[in-house]
Amino acid sequence: TIPTPPSPPVPVVSSLESMSSAALDPMELRTKLYDRRRSANPDAFRRTHDHVGAQPYRVVLGRVHSRLLATRRRMELLLSGRELSIDRAALRPSDQWFETGDELAEPLLALYWSLWECGSGKIADGRLLDLIRRVYAFGLGLMKVDLRQESERHAAALDAVTTYLGLGSYLEWDEDAKEAFLTKELQGRRPLIPLDMPMTEEVQEVFDTFKVAARLGTDSLGAYVISMARSASDILAVELLQREARMQVAGAMAAAGGNGEMAWG
Q: Which tens digits make up the pLDDT trace of 155-183? A: 999 999 999 999 999 999 999 999 999 99
**Could you say which of 106, 138, 170 is where a domain stops?**
138
Q: Kindly report the number of other CB atoms within 10 A of residue 201's CB atom.
A: 6
pLDDT exceeds 50 at position 197: yes
pLDDT exceeds 90 at position 253: no
Count of domains forming the chain: 2
pLDDT exceeds 60 at position 261: no
Are 78 and 216 within 8 A, CB to CB?
Answer: yes
186 shares a domain with 158: yes
**Could you say which of 104, 138, 172 is where a domain stops?**
138
Tell me the CATH number at 73.
1.20.1440.90
pLDDT exceeds 70 at position 27: no
Range of the domain at 195: 145-256
Contacts of residue 165, defined as CB under 8 A and 6 or more positions apart, other chains included, come to 192, 194
229 shares a domain with 207: yes
In a domain, 261, yes or no: no
170 shares a domain with 94: no
Half-sphere exposure of 99 (CA within 13 A, CB side): 10
Mean pLDDT over each residue of the chain, to the nearest integer:
77
In a domain, 181, yes or no: yes
The CA distance from 96 to 92, in Å, is 6
Query: Could you report the per-residue pLDDT of 39-85, keeping only the tens digit for each?
Result: 555 555 555 455 545 577 887 888 899 899 988 888 887 777 676 66
Positive or negative: CA dihedral 223, 227, 230, 235: negative
Q: Where are the beta strands (DSSP E) in 63-107?
A: none
Query: Could you report the per-residue pLDDT of 213-237, keeping only the tens digit for each?
Result: 888 777 778 889 999 999 999 999 9
170 shares a domain with 104: no
Using only the alpha carbons of the chain, give its radius of gyration.
23
Query: Could you report the per-residue pLDDT of 84-143, keeping only the tens digit for each?
Result: 666 666 666 667 888 888 889 888 988 888 888 778 888 888 899 889 888 888 888 777
**Could you say which of 81, 108, 138 is where a domain stops?**
138
Per-residue CA distances from 248 to 4, 191, 199, 239, 243 (Å): 45, 8, 16, 14, 9
211 shares a domain with 173: yes
Contacts of residue 81, defined as CB under 8 A and 6 or more positions apart, other chains included, come to none
